[in-house]
Structure 1
Amino acid sequence: MVLTEGSAKNGPVSPRTFLIDTRPLRHAAFRRTWIGNGVSGVGFQLTAVAVPVEMYEITKSSVWVGLIGIAGLVPLLVFALLGGAIADAVDRRKLLLASSAVTWVVTLALLVQAVAGWNSPVLLLCLVAVQAVGFALTNPVRQAIIPRLVPAEDVPAAQTISFTTSNAAMVLGPLIAGVVIQLAGFAAAYAIDAALFAVSVWASLRLPPLPPERASAGPASMGVRAVADGLRYLATTPIIALSFAVDLIAMIFAMPRALFPEMADERFGGPGAVGWLYSAIALGAVAGGLVSGWIGRVRRQGVALVGAVVVWGLAVAAAGVAHQLWLAVALLAVAGAGDLVSGVYRQTIMSLYAPDEMRGRLQGVFTAVVAGGPRLGDLRAGITASLVGPTLAWAGGGVAAAVLVIVLAVAFPVLRRYDGRPPAAARDETAQPSTTAVV
């Protein structure tokens, strides 16, 4: 891999090189945002577990539980694109506060219906749909502001810290939710989420004003035309479009979570194994994040992105043929570490390559891809398993993802040649002597 000049000058690589890079936390605005997102992320996971469990308790039907995903997906896809356009046209701090308020109100409404004992599955679906709107508006702006809070050289490390923290929340939240729901009920889970979300609101209030760097064209800059402009920019910017394609391949072909209940029942001894399977990928991402100091020093980020997805696919495939629970969990953890690296580079490419006036819209597309890809992967896995069995559906999908990503990199050299620099920086250095060292 290629490291920057500074890392080569300092002599032998020390163990600290591989520890997570915490330099972005020196910047107060980013540090507060990181704390708010991390704390509220744990609360969000409590609600994410409590809603389907409450739905099943009300209806005793997995069909109703499945409808939760559909209720959230459609508004998420629509408003993620619209939210990205709005984020490029208004003060992002104000938009973050407004969209956070929507999410917070929904959490309070979930608390009220649980305390009142209304037991309405339709109400739950409606609240999930509104919550998805809030999330779709909030997530693009949260990501789009990172390059405004830290210097460009700290963006990869900032993305790594953010990904690691969100995965830690995905581990802690469900574990806490199980205990809280069992001991105190659904209302307690929603109340904790609402209380923790207050930290995120505090962090947003402390942000500086974040108006667009270029003047917008008024309301027209926030509508369908603006969304179309963002999609047009994406279509004409191969490196960003390819980074999205890489993620879709990884999630559609190699996301195995829809097969976890069946495999736990048939191979790993019953329901007790399901929790380990569901937490394994996030555990691996957290572990990978803790030794991720090297990520920001890699110059050839396109090659690193492809390699990370190949690791993801092959590790998932190996887990699909493992017959010991500990081995399957360990391999899924390796896959999770690869997914963390992939996610960091995809976000970094988008954050640094795209101009500020496009970042919100591209983050909206990214949110739609990240939300839609795993759901399509669940559908692919379930249908394939019904045709060829769960083992081949699981392992074959992982191999297919690795192969397809390699084919994509071979077919589009711009992906494997991407070196982590914004377009202008790359042009400026074409005539300069190389200052990098190959390690």
Structure 2
Amino acid sequence: MTRTAETETARPRRRIFADLTPLRTSPDYRRLWIGGTISWLGQAMTALAISLQVYDITGSSFSVGLVGLFSLVPLVVFGLYGGAVADTVDRRKLGLYSALGSTVLSIALAGAALLDHHRVWFLYAVVALQSVCGALNGPARAAMTPRLLPAEQLPAANALNTVTMTAGMMAGPMLGGFIVGWWGYQAAYLIDAVTFSAALYAMWRLPSMKPDRAEGARGRASVLDGLRFLGTRPNIRMTFFSDMAAMVLAHPKALFPAVAVLWYGGDAKTVGALVAAPAVGALLGGVFSGWHGRVHRQGVAILLAVGAWGLAIAVFGLTRNLWLGLLFLALAGYADTTSMVFRTTMLQAATPDELRGRLQGVFIVVVAGGPRLGDFLAGTAAGLASPTVAVTGGGLGCVLVLGLLALRWRGFARYDARSPQA
């Protein structure tokens, strides 16, 4: 086969599978992505190990549930603050120090486990501090990407980042359960500390990442400035509103235990399958993302993806065949990944560098808080009516609200990535 024929054969594959161009063209981004992938896997292992340890100590599911609360509150509170800090200081240093803080916390968990210091309050405190480090690290990392890559490679980079997150969420808990079962909690925590070395190395190799802004000379950045900017930029605002429509109105995860029994006559394994299905779809969305870079009407892509999420959830609410239900949940996960790629890309490309940290902080708050509100709303609706009404009604409500938002801000559908306007 000639080189020309080989090239022609390879082109369709590149259009189908994830675009690896950012990994090939930017050594800094490549190290950051590899380091983040390895450390994210370790974090997922630790998250499971902490939940198992809390239950081992207390025997209480309520106590395990509090782990999520101690993680969520600092993430929401410090997400906005972390974004403001990322717009003030060298983002490389902020990412490096916050990753180092997470490493120290993992070492502390391992040390406590080795010394048989099994105290629930200590685990809660570490979880809260881990969230603080994550809230400082997240905006800094996200604001770095547009500085490392040209705008046309941002969709590919964000798709690769979704592969990291979903693969970690799927593989991390499985590895964590295996490691804790064979070698104990301390082994999982020590492995997590070691995996952070990859993220630390990637951050250490980066060049200085000081924000490009005139007001940076004053050495401060206001959270309110970021919110004021958001209030005057309808396209960026719509990326948040569309995600909230999906995550608040059509997020049925809290109902999976009831659905597994009432609809499918299943058990805990059925619940696990329901939880895993959207993650599988999300992973496939990242793997088969080669077409993202050719999409310029990214506002339309977001509307279609969020609408597809809502419809898939609505149809899932009507299914009583498990395999069909898993299929529609996987389709919803695929749509969610597509939406996230374009929402993140739009946020990065249409926001000035001096405000990227603060807008990424708002992004973290929305992404972290929306599903929790969705769980509460779904549980309330199921209690007042039924799981079917909660799931199907929520999916249709998502589509309806999305349509009203699109009518209210018609310019969102005209957004063109070749001339990004916030």
Instruction: Give deviations 1:356-398, integer Å, cap 9, x for gaps.
Output: 0010000011011111111111111122221112222122212
**How is 1:202-221 mapped onto 2 (pairs within 5 angstroms)?**
202-217=201-216, 221=220
**Alpha-carbon deviation of 1:33?**
0.5
Looking at structure 2, the residues matched to 262 and 208 of structure 1 have their Cα atoms a distance apart, in angstroms, of 51
Query: Would the aligned equivalents of 1:254 and 1:401 in 2 still touch at CA under 8 Å?
Result: yes
Counterpart selection for 1:350 from 347, 372, 375: 347
**Alpha-carbon deviation of 1:133?**
0.3
**Alpha-carbon deviation of 1:114?**
2.2
**Alpha-carbon deviation of 1:352?**
0.5
Moved more, 407-416 or 228-237: 407-416
Query: Would the aligned equivalents of 1:265 and 1:271 in 2 still touch at CA under 8 Å?
Result: no
Match of 1:377 in 2: 374
Dislocated runs of 4+, deviation >6 Å: none
Query: Would the aligned equivalents of 1:268 and 1:325 in 2 still touch at CA under 8 Å?
Result: no
Query: Would the aligned equivalents of 1:352 and 1:421 in 2 still touch at CA under 8 Å?
Result: no
Match of 1:156 in 2: 155
Q: Is residue 22 of structure 1 aligned with residue 20 of structure 2? A: yes
Q: Is residue 365 of structure 1 aligned with residue 362 of structure 2? A: yes
Normalised TM-score (structure 2): 0.93
List alignment gaps of at least 5 residues for structure 2.
Answer: 1-7
Looking at structure 1, the residues matched to 91 and 388 of structure 2 have their Cα atoms a distance apart, in angstroms, of 46
Instruction: Give deviations 1:212-255, integer Å, cap 9, x for gaps.
Output: 22254467614xxx101011001111111111111111111111
Structure 1 residues 197, 353: CA separation in 2 closer, same or farther (over 3 Å shift)? same
Paired positions, count: 411
Normalised TM-score (structure 1): 0.90
List alignment gaps of at least 5 residues for structure 1.
Answer: 1-9, 427-439
Instruction: Give deviations 1:262-281, integer Å, cap 9, x for gaps.
Output: 22233241011222222211
Amino acid at match of 1:74: V
Aligned sequence identity (%): 46
Looking at structure 1, the residues matched to 240 and 33 of structure 2 have their Cα atoms a distance apart, in angstroms, of 24
Looking at structure 2, the residues matched to 51 and 80 of structure 1 have their Cα atoms a distance apart, in angstroms, of 22
**How is 1:130-141 mapped onto 2 (pairs within 5 angstroms)?**
130-141=129-140
Looking at structure 2, the residues matched to 217 and 290 of structure 1 have their Cα atoms a distance apart, in angstroms, of 39
Query: Would the aligned equivalents of 2:88 and 2:219 in 1 still touch at CA under 8 Å?
Result: no
Amino acid at match of 2:309: W
Looking at structure 1, the residues matched to 419 and 105 of structure 2 have their Cα atoms a distance apart, in angstroms, of 39
Structure 1 residues 337, 72: CA separation in 2 closer, same or farther (over 3 Å shift)? same
Match of 2:5 in 1: none
Looking at structure 2, the residues matched to 417 and 274 of structure 1 have their Cα atoms a distance apart, in angstroms, of 40
Q: Is residue 399 of structure 1 aligned with residue 396 of structure 2? A: yes
Looking at structure 1, the residues matched to 340 and 245 of structure 2 have their Cα atoms a distance apart, in angstroms, of 13
Match of 1:142 in 2: 141
Moved more, 144-153 or 271-280: 271-280
Query: Would the aligned equivalents of 1:170 and 1:279 in 2 still touch at CA under 8 Å?
Result: no
Looking at structure 1, the residues matched to 205 and 261 of structure 2 have their Cα atoms a distance apart, in angstroms, of 48
Moved more, 61-70 or 348-357: 61-70
Q: Is residue 324 of structure 1 aligned with residue 342 of structure 2? A: no
Amino acid at match of 1:191: L
Counterpart selection for 1:240 from 236, 252, 264: 236
Match of 1:77 in 2: 76
Secondary structure of 2:254's partner? Answer: helix
Structure 1 residues 178, 268: CA separation in 2 closer, same or farther (over 3 Å shift)? farther
Amino acid at match of 1:21: D
**How is 1:191-270 mapped onto 2 (pairs within 5 angstroms)?**
191-217=190-216, 221-222=220-221, 226-266=222-262, 267-270=264-267
Structure 1 residues 326, 219: CA separation in 2 closer, same or farther (over 3 Å shift)? farther
Match of 2:270 in 1: 273
Query: Would the aligned equivalents of 1:89 and 1:216 in 2 still touch at CA under 8 Å?
Result: no
Secondary structure of 1:20's partner? Answer: coil
Amino acid at match of 2:229: Y
Structure 1 residues 417, 48: CA separation in 2 closer, same or farther (over 3 Å shift)? same
Q: RMSD of the alignment, in Å?
A: 1.8
**How is 1:165-204 mapped onto 2 (pairs within 5 angstroms)?**
165-204=164-203
Looking at structure 1, the residues matched to 253 and 48 of structure 2 have their Cα atoms a distance apart, in angstroms, of 15
Secondary structure of 1:221's partner? Answer: coil
Looking at structure 1, the residues matched to 392 and 112 of structure 2 have their Cα atoms a distance apart, in angstroms, of 42
Structure 1 residues 312, 194: CA separation in 2 closer, same or farther (over 3 Å shift)? same
Query: Would the aligned equivalents of 1:281 and 1:336 in 2 still touch at CA under 8 Å?
Result: yes
Match of 2:283 in 1: 286
Structure 1 residues 418, 44: CA separation in 2 closer, same or farther (over 3 Å shift)? same
**Alpha-carbon deviation of 1:161?**
0.9
Counterpart selection for 1:421 from 395, 418, 422: 418
**Alpha-carbon deviation of 1:45?**
0.7
Query: Would the aligned equivalents of 2:250 and 2:395 in 1 still touch at CA under 8 Å?
Result: yes
Looking at structure 2, the residues matched to 235 and 308 of structure 1 have their Cα atoms a distance apart, in angstroms, of 24
Looking at structure 1, the residues matched to 183 and 388 of structure 2 have their Cα atoms a distance apart, in angstroms, of 38
Q: Is residue 31 of structure 1 aligned with residue 27 of structure 2? A: no
Instruction: Give deviations 1:164-199, integer Å, cap 9, x for gaps.
Output: 221111111122122222222222221221111211
**Alpha-carbon deviation of 1:22?**
0.9
Moved more, 390-399 or 286-295: 390-399
Looking at structure 1, the residues matched to 384 and 281 of structure 2 have their Cα atoms a distance apart, in angstroms, of 30
